[in-house]
Structure 1
Amino acid sequence: MGRVAYARIAPNEDLVQGVEKLCLAEGFRNAFVRGALGSLVDACMGTIDGKYLQIQGPAVEIVSLAGEVRQGDDGSLRAALTGVVADPEGNVYGGPFVAGLNPICMTFEVTLEEWLPAK
C-alpha cells in the first residue's frame, strides 16, 4: 500500500468521475476506496440483468461505498464503485454506480488509499 488521500468532491460533480479525478490529482495510478460520506442528487445503479435503476432524490444518501480505481493499458483511470443507497422515503438499493449519472448533492468526502501492485 502507498499514500492515503482525504478529499472532497464538489456539488453536481459525478461520483465515479470525481473519484477518478481525485486519483489523477494525487498521482494515484491504482487505489482503493477506504471510506466515504455524503449524498447524491439522484442515483443510477446497474442491475444484475444489465439494465439501470434510477433512484430519485433529492438527497439520496450513500449508506456504504466500496470500490477501486485502476489504470488501463492506455494510461487512463477507471473507477469501479459499488454501494448501497437510501432514497428520501427510506427504500434501500444496492449495486454498481453508473459513471456520469450520480451527481453529488452537497459535498462528498472520500478516503482513497493508493495501491502499489507488485512488479
Structure 2
Amino acid sequence: MNEAAMVESGNMGRVAYARIAPNEDLVLGVEKLCLAHGFRHAFVRGALGSLVDACLETQDGKYLQIKGPAAEIVSLAGEVRSQEDGTVRAALTGVVADLSGNVFGGPFVAGANPVCMTFEVTLEEWLPASETCAASAGVIPFPVAK
C-alpha cells in the first residue's frame, strides 16, 4: 500500500452512538449512519458486535472469507470521508475471530460483511479547518498556528 500521507487541521465535532441492524453490511451501514447524522467526515471510535461472515482484503488485493456464523469483531478502526459527489465512503480496518478462535485482520470489503444480530458503533464527527470543508459544514475557519 503506497498511499500518500495527509496532515489535516480541524476539530472534533459531535459524537453518535448508533446501531447497525442484522444483515445490513458493516461498511455500508457506517456510511448510512454518517449520512443520517449529517457527518461529512468521521472517525470510528468504538464498536461491538459480530458478523454473519466476514470478508477482508489481503495485501495482494485478494479477499479472505471468514465463515461464521458470528465472526466476532475483536477491534475496528476507520474513517469516513465525504466524496466530491456528496456521498460518503468508509474505510474500515479490523481484527476478526472465527468460531475456532483463529484471528484475521485487514480492511473490510464493502458489501460483503453482513451484521449478525446487532452492531454497536461510536462515530465522532471530524470538521476539517479547510475553508471548503468548513464552509459546507457550517463552521467558521480559524487560523492554525504554524
Compute the TM-score of the two structures, normalised by the length of structure 2. 0.81
Distance in 2 separating the partners of 1:114 and 1:21: 14
C-alpha deviation, 1:109, in angstroms: 0.2
Whether 2:88 is the aligned partner of 1:71: answer no
Whether 2:26 is the aligned partner of 1:26: answer no
Q: Which runs of 5+ in 2 are unaligned?
A: 1-11, 131-146
Distance in 2 separating the partners of 1:66 and 1:118: 23
* 1:97-116 equivalent positions in 2, closer than 5 A: 97-116=108-127
Kindly indicate which of the two structures has a greater share of residues assigned to strand.
Answer: 1
Distance in 2 separating the partners of 1:59 and 1:111: 20
Aligned match for 1:39, one of 17, 29, 50: 50
C-alpha deviation, 1:102, in angstroms: 0.1
Q: Which runs of 5+ in 1 are unaligned?
A: none
- The total of aligned residue pairs comes to 119
* Residues 38-82 of structure 1 deviation map (CA, whole Å, 9 limit, x = unaligned): 000000000000000000000000000000000011111000000
| Residue equivalent to 1:62 | 73
C-alpha deviation, 1:7, in angstroms: 0.2
Answer with 1 or 2: which has the greater Rg.
2
Aligned match for 2:27, one of 3, 11, 16: 16
| Residue equivalent to 2:142 | none
Whether 2:52 is the aligned partner of 1:48: answer no
Distance in 1 separating the partners of 2:102 and 2:93: 17
* RMSD of aligned Cα (Å): 0.4
Q: Which has the higher contact order (CA 8 A, sep 6+)?
A: 1
